[in-house]
Amino acid sequence: MTNTPNPEAPSTPRLPRRNITGVLLLDKPFGLSSNAALQRARNLFGALKAGHTGTLDPHATGLLPLCFGEATKFSGWLLDAPKGYEAQIRLGYTSTTADGEGEITALHPYAGSPAELEKILHSFLGHQTQQPPMHSALKLNGKPLYSYARAGLEVERVARAIEVMSLNLLQWQDELLTIEAKVSKGTYIRVLVEDMGRALGCGGYLSALRRTQTGPFSLHSAVTLEQLQHMSLAQREACLLPADAMLPDVPRLDLNAEQSEHIRHGRDISWPITAPHESGARYRVYSHEQFFLGVCEITDQQKLHAARLMAEEYLEPTLVKPVTFVS
């Protein structure tokens, strides 16, 4: 895994801002913040409204799903989704920031066997708590934690519940260890790596990080800013996924013409299925024309209530786009 500085973006005429809806799977480059990557992509599409679905540090690369237009209404599903990473760990050292940006201190090489190494790595699987690092964008009293750290202050942080769903050894050569991990929302890989180094008895810090998965989306389906810059506008638009592509795990519900009309106008309807369902359950809802209407939920009175709806002018038949879904 190598990191190379992000080259300056070639001069590209900025498009006039316009209403455009869809999901872009971006392969974020090294050295660019998530917001800077978002703004570059937004300019390439001329999108009036845009947002990303989970921050990647400037020195991390990989999958950063971006939402344009009406798709931003459903971005919360990806913010809460599990994430997959490929991480490179430098063993035998510690860092004040748990990554290559801090002050590095040499300790001693890892002296155990590969079997012992795998055993210790697997001990980190499952539910656990993790304290956010001081060098992070998490805010306290309106200020990111890293601003306190830069001022030489350490503040109390509340530990959060996380889950490490899978953890596999990909490569081990000399002092460099490469692993892949699937983790829950809110997991800091830097902290996980630092804890692993401590458990191994030799120290370790995160030397490179690449996000490979966000919810149902894989890095294999992502495009780079450089690729987008060399495309025509029509080719860029062909890269966009429909908004409902973010919701494959939300059960689908198809409505008839009368039910569709009520939901479109924000009116609750009687639960259209004979069997009752748990209050609060959510569905991605489609009209009789196969338009994706949005997400509805079941009320205590067994009514179907519109939670988030697509604007009328963006209703169109749901499309099957080429995207690699991963389990």
Instruction: Assess contact for 107 and 205: CB atoms under 8 A.
Output: no
What are the residues whose beta carbons fall under 8 Å from the beta carbon of 21, sequence distance 6 or more?
Answer: 68, 69, 70, 71, 240, 243, 310, 314
Arithmetic mean of pLDDT over the chain: 87
Q: What are 14-23's pLDDT values in tens digits?
A: 788 888 999 9
pLDDT in tens, 163-212: 999 999 999 999 999 999 999 998 999 999 999 999 999 999 999 999 99
Position 4 pLDDT exceeds 70: no
The per-residue pLDDT for 12 is 58
**How far is residue 118's CA from residue 126's CA, in Å, rounded to a whole number?**
15
Is residue 326 predicted with pLDDT exceeding 50? no
Does residue 297 or residue 144 have the better pLDDT? 297
What are residue 13's phi and psi, to 5 degrees? -55, 135
Q: What six digits make up the tokens of 310?
A: 């697509």
Residue type at 178 in one-letter notation: T
Is 43 within 8 Å of 13 (Cβ atoms)? no
Instruction: Report the distance separating Cα 98 and Cα 92, nearest Å.
Output: 13
Question: Which residues are catalytic, by number?
Answer: 57
CA distance 172 to 88: 10
Q: What residue type is assigned to position 183 of the chain?
A: V
Query: Per the CATH hierarchy, to which homologous superfamily does domain 83-214 belong?
Result: Pseudouridine synthase (3.30.2350.10)
Given this chain, do its domains 22-81+217-245 and 83-214 carry the same CATH topology? yes
Q: Which helix (H) or strand (E) holds 68?
A: strand 60-68
DSSP β-bridge partners for residue 91: 204
**Tens digits of residue pLDDT in 210-260:** 999 999 999 999 999 999 999 999 999 999 999 999 999 999 999 999 999
Instruction: Grade residue 145 by pLDDT with cuts at 50, 70 and 90.
Output: low
The whole-number pLDDT of residue 139 equals 67
Mean pLDDT of 44-62: 92
> With pLDDT > 90 as the criterion, what percentage of the chain qualifies?
68
Per-residue model confidence as pLDDT tens digits over 117-137: 999 999 999 999 998 776 666
pLDDT digit string, tens, across residues 270-279: 988 877 788 8
Domain 22-81+217-245 CATH class label? alpha beta
Residue predicted with more confidence, 90 or 102: 90
Contact between 28 and 34 (Cβ < 8 Å)? yes
Parse the chain into domains and list their residue ranges. 22-81+217-245, 83-214, 250-314
Residue spans of alpha helices (H) in the chain? 34-45, 76-79, 114-122, 145-150, 189-200, 225-229, 233-238, 257-264
The topology under which CATH files domain 250-314 is: 2.30.130
* Closest C-alpha among 170, 169, 209 to residue 87: 209
Higher pLDDT, 150 or 319: 150
